[in-house]
Amino acid sequence: MNAVPQSHADTSEQALKAWWMPFTHNRYFKAKPRLIDSGKGAYYQLADGRRVFDCLSGLWCSPIGHSHPRIVEAVKAQIDKLDFAPSFQMGHEPAFRLATRIAELAGRPNDHVFFTNSGSEAVDTALKIAIAYHRLRGDASRTRIIGRERGYHGVGMGGISVGGMVANRKMFAPLMLNGVDHLPHTWNPAHMAFSKGQPTWGAHFADELERIVALHDASTIAAVIVEPMQGSGGVLVPPVGYLERLREICTKHGILLIFDEVITGFGRLGKPFGADYFNVKPDMATFAKAVNNATIPLGGVLAADEIYQTFMTGPAHMIEFFHGYTYSAHPMAVAAAHATLDVLRDEKLIERAAELAPVLEKAVHSLKGEPHVTDIRNIGLAAAVELSPIAGQPGLRAIRVFEKALDEGYMVRFSADILAMAPPFVSTPAEIEGMIEGIRRALRAVPV
C-alpha cells in the first residue's frame, strides 16, 4: 500500500512559515506537518508516501472521489475554450443550464439560482435576499435573522452572526448583525445518546421559535436559517418532526425558512437535498461543496420563484439586486459542476449513498463501548463519534485518535472532541467497515 516513491516535500520550519492556515493549530501542525500530495478516488496520497482513505470526502465536499476522469476532462476542455467570463451584464450558456439543472435536481424547477464561490458567501447572499425581499414587499421592519446554537454557516459576518459556535463568534461581536437571535440546538444526551438516525425525542425544540416570535414579534423577523443536519457541529441530527414544526411556525408568521444545505446538498443523506430527505420545503437553500465535487470553488442560493419575482420590479434596465461576485458562475467551476451532476446521475451515486448509509450506521454503532466513546450519531452517509475530553485539555483526545487513525491509513475529521465521517459515495461497504475498524484500533491505542 505504501510502496510509492516519497515526494520531496520541504517541511522545514522556514518552508511552512508563510501560510497562515485556516481553522488549524498552526504551531502544532508546523511542528508535525501532515502534507497531502495527491488524490485519486477515495484515497489521498500523503507526502510521506502513505495512502490514506478519505473518511470525510475532503471537507464533506468530494463525494465522487478525487480527480474523477470526467471532471478532469471537462475542466481541461473548459480552460481551453473559455477560462473566465464576466457574469455582470454578460452571461455564458453553461451557467444558465447549470442553474436549471440544480433547480430540477432539487425538485424545485421554478426556483432561481444565485451563484457564489463558497458556502459562506451563499449564506450571506441568502440573508441579504431575505432582508431585501421583505423590504421590497413593504415589510422593512423584518430584519432579524434567527439562527441556531451550534450551527455553522461559514465565516462571513452574516454567517458568524447566525452561527452558533462560540469560538467563531466571540472575537467579533461589534461586527455582527444586529438583532439576531438563536434557537437552541437539539442535542440532548440524556434523551438521545447513541440514537440511530433521527432521534424520536426533541421535536418540541422547534417550539422555541414561538417563544422567540413572542419576544421580538414576527413583524421584526425576516428569516430562520438552519442546517437540516448540523454537520460541523458534529452530525447533530434533527429529531423526528422538528423541521416540520419549524416550517409550520415560519409559514404561520410570514418568516422565510432557509436551509443551509452546504453539507447536505447533492446527496450526502442519500437524497438530492436534505429537504428531500426530511420532506420539508424551505423558501431558500444554500449549497456549495459537493455541487462540483469541490474541484473549483462554487456555491449558490436556490430561491423560490416568489422571492425572485419580488425583486423583478422597477424599470427593466435597472439592476434588481445589488449583489454579486467577480467569480459568480465561474466557467471552470460551472464545467466541473456539469461533469459532477453527470457522474452522480450516470453512476447512480446518490442512490449508492443511500445504500451505503445502513452499512455505515451498523458499523459506526459497533464502536459503542470502545474507550473514550460517549455518543455516536449518524444519518445518511454521515456519522460522528463523540469522545470524552482529557481533563483540562479539550480537543486533545480527538487529536490523539486522529493521529492514530492516520497511522492506520484513515484520515478522519476531528473538531473539538468529536470525530466526523462522511465517506465518498464511491466507497465500497468493505472500505466503510475497514474505516470503522481503523478507528476502533485508534481508539484502543489512545490511553484512557
Applying CB under 6 A, the residues found at the interface with ligand PXG are 59-60, 118-120, 123, 152-154, 227, 231-232, 260, 262-263, 288, 299, 413, 415, 420
Instruction: State which residue, 213 or 298, has the beta carbon closest to ligand PXG.
Output: 298
Minimum Å distance from CB 206 to ligand PXG? Answer: 19
Minimum Å distance from CB 151 to ligand PXG? Answer: 8
Minimum Å distance from CB 181 to ligand PXG? Answer: 19
Instruction: State which residue, 177 or 263, has the beta carbon closest to ligand PXG.
Output: 263
Instruction: State which residue, 213 or 256, has the beta carbon closest to ligand PXG.
Output: 256
Instruction: State which residue, 150 or 153, has the beta carbon closest to ligand PXG.
Output: 153
Q: How far apart are CA 120 and CA 163, in angstroms?
A: 11
**CA dihedral for 188, 192, 193, 198, sign (positive or negative):** negative
Instruction: State which residue, 395 or 429, has the beta carbon closest to ligand PXG.
Output: 395
* Residue 124 CA from chain centroid, whole number: 15
Instruction: State which residue, 249 or 420, has the beta carbon closest to ligand PXG.
Output: 420
Give which of 184, 152, 161 is closest to 289, Cα–Cα: 152
Give which of 160, 156, 162 is closest to 144, Cα–Cα: 162
Minimum Å distance from CB 107 to ligand PXG? Answer: 20
Minimum Å distance from CB 312 to ligand PXG? Answer: 27
Please give the full DSSP string across 90-139, using - where no structure is assigned: ---HHHHHHHHHHHHHTT-TT-EEEEESSHHHHHHHHHHHHHHHHHHTT-
Please give the full DSSP string across 165-184, using - where no structure is assigned: -HHHHGGGGGGSPTT-EEEP
Instruction: State which residue, 16 or 416, has the beta carbon closest to ligand PXG.
Output: 416
Minimum Å distance from CB 272 to ligand PXG? Answer: 16
Minimum Å distance from CB 296 to ligand PXG? Answer: 12
Amino acid of residue 21: M
Instruction: State which residue, 421 or 432, has the beta carbon closest to ligand PXG.
Output: 421
What's the number of CA atoms in the CB half-sphere (13 Å) around residue 27?
A: 0
Which helix (H) or strand (E) segment holds residue 245: the answer is: helix 242-253
Q: What is the DSSP letter of 264?
A: T
Contacts of 73 by beta carbon, 8 Å cutoff, 6+ apart: 339
Minimum Å distance from CB 235 to ligand PXG? Answer: 9
Minimum Å distance from CB 14 to ligand PXG? Answer: 28
Instruction: State which residue, 153 or 440, has the beta carbon closest to ligand PXG.
Output: 153
| Strands 221-226 and 144-148, sheet pairing | parallel
In the structure grid, which three cell numbers stand for residue 236, read together?
447533530
Amino acid of residue 333: A
Minimum Å distance from CB 138 to ligand PXG? Answer: 31
Which residue's beta carbon is nearest to the bound ligand PXG?
119
Minimum Å distance from CB 317 to ligand PXG? Answer: 33
Q: What is the 3-state secondary structure (H, E, C) of 362-419?
A: HHHHCCCCCCCEEEEEEECCEEEEEECCECCECCHHHHHHHHHHHHCCEECEEECCEE
**Residue in the block written with cell 497531502:** 36
Q: How far apart are CA 356 and CA 354, in angstroms?
A: 5
Instruction: State which residue, 164 or 438, has the beta carbon closest to ligand PXG.
Output: 164
* Whole-angstrom Cα Rg for the chain: 22
Under a CB-based contact definition with an 8 Å cutoff, are residues 192 and 202 in contact?
yes
Beta bridge partners of 225: 258
Instruction: State which residue, 397 or 413, has the beta carbon closest to ligand PXG.
Output: 413
